[in-house]
């Protein structure tokens, strides 16, 4: 099977989810699904040089009715770990809050089951070695970073990874470039919104630009917002012709039909929220005879579909793109 379901949240959601993202609990549950080959998480480095797992640039808490906000990379490790559920039950902690992506409201970050914040080293030591890691290098657009920030993360990985499959990804072209220059052991992929929104850095504004970034910096592939791929299927062929891996993320990846379309298109992997639902769907794809073949044109391999499959793709893709996200 050419597609793996990757357990990961593509965006910020506030509410009573089953468990919080980027936790050992969520990774452990992802490992229970055979179709999940990798888990994705976000790595940042604390002020005292410890790589930790956290998605947002800022961490929020509340005291005496007032909201306090700190940049994660300005915290010492001890400060960071003092937020949320604690490993020692009686230890006093700061309650975790989160800002919604839509209207900017600050709400209590509540889940049915919670788990303490963790470091990169703990994730390597405690998560099933069966799972590979897609490590997103989390860089804030408004901060200047240095090579040493990447070196801290890389050092922890080299010490703990053993035989675990690992690859890096980043929305920041220069972070991806630096990580590629620092090491050649693990693949580095470029994250892009695929033209679904505009960015001041033109390298981040289209799949075509993403392909050029990969070729210029000798990167191994692209992780694109799924709508960017569905709107530009020709870019899939261009990526394949350039020997680049192509994965997607986004809310549409929680719709099994969208995942099925990408399976037919030859996408290498999808990053999803609904791990159990999509994992079951992906397992079903592998059991179905799709009658899909591969043709070679000018030395390059391309997917070939039956008329029935092409009709399915042409009908479904516009409907998927128009869905609210």
The domain ranges of the chain are 4-321
Cα four-point dihedral sign 114, 120, 126, 130: positive
- Angle (CA) 51-270-311 rounded to 5° is 165
Cα four-point dihedral sign 225, 226, 232, 238: positive
| Tens-digit pLDDT profile for residues 253-276 | 988 888 888 888 889 988 887 777
- Prediction pTM value: 0.80
Strand partners, 69: 60
Strand partners, 137: 43
pLDDT at residue 314, as a whole number:
54
Determine the topology of domain 4-321 in CATH. Answer: TIM Barrel (3.20.20)
DSSP state of 72: G
pLDDT exceeds 70 at position 101:
yes
pLDDT band with cut points at 50, 70 and 90 for residue 283 = confident
| Tens-digit pLDDT profile for residues 223-243 | 999 999 998 888 999 999 999
pLDDT exceeds 60 at position 287:
no
- Up-side HSE of residue 277: CA atoms within 13 Å toward CB? 11
pLDDT exceeds 90 at position 90:
no
- Compute the average pLDDT of residues 270-294: 66
Q: Residue 43 class from Cβ within 10 Å (0-12 exposed, 13-18 middle, 19+ buried)? A: buried
Mean pLDDT, the chain, as a whole number? 81
pLDDT exceeds 90 at position 47:
yes
The angle, 0 to 180 degrees and rounded to 10, between the axes of the packed helices 233-241 and 207-217 is 10
| Nearest in space to 226 (alpha carbons), one of 186, 187, 256 | 256
Cα(242)–Cα(221) distance, rounded to whole angstroms?
9
* Spatial contact of 174 and 203, defined as CB atoms under 8 Å apart: no
| Tens-digit pLDDT profile for residues 138-164 | 888 777 777 898 999 999 999 999 999
């Amino acid at each position: 099977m050419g597609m793996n379901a990757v357990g990961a949240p593509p965006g910020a959601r506030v509410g009573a989810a089953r468990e919080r993202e980027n936790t050992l609990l969520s990774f452990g549950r992802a490992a229970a699904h055979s179709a999940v080959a990798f888990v994705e998480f976000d790595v940042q480095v604390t002020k005292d040089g410890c790589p930790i797992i956290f998605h947002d640039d800022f961490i929020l808490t509340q005291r005496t009715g007032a909201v306090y906000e700190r940049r994660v990379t300005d915290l010492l490790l001890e400060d960071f770990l003092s937020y949320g559920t604690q490993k020692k039950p009686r230890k006093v902690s700061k309650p975790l809050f989160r800002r919604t992506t839509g209207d900017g409201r600050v709400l209590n970050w509540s889940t049915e089951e919670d788990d303490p914040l963790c470091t990169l080293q703990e994730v390597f030591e405690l998560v099933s070695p069966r799972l590979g890691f897609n490590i997103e290098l989390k860089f804030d657009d408004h901060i200047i970073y240095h090579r040493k920030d990447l070196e801290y993360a890389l050092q922890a990985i080299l010490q703990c990874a053993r035989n675990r499959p690992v690859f890096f990804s980043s929305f920041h072209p220069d972070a991806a470039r630096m990580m590629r220059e620092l090491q050649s052991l693990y693949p580095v992929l470029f994250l892009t919104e695929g033209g679904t929104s505009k960015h001041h850095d033109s390298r981040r504004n289209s799949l075509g630009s993403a392909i050029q970034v990969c070729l210029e910096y000798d990167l191994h592939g692209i992780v694109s917002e799924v709508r960017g791929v569905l709107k530009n299927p020709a870019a899939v062929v261009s990526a394949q012709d350039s020997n680049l891996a192509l994965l997607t993320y986004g809310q549409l990846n929680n719709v099994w039909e969208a995942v099925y379309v990408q399976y037919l298109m030859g996408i290498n992997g999808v990053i999803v929220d609904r791990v159990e639902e999509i994992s079951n769907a992906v397992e079903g794809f592998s059991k179905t005879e799709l009658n899909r073949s591969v043709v070679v044109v000018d030395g390059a391999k391309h997917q070939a579909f039956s008329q029935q499959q092409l009709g399915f793709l042409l009908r479904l893709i516009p409907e998927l793109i128009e869905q609210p996200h």
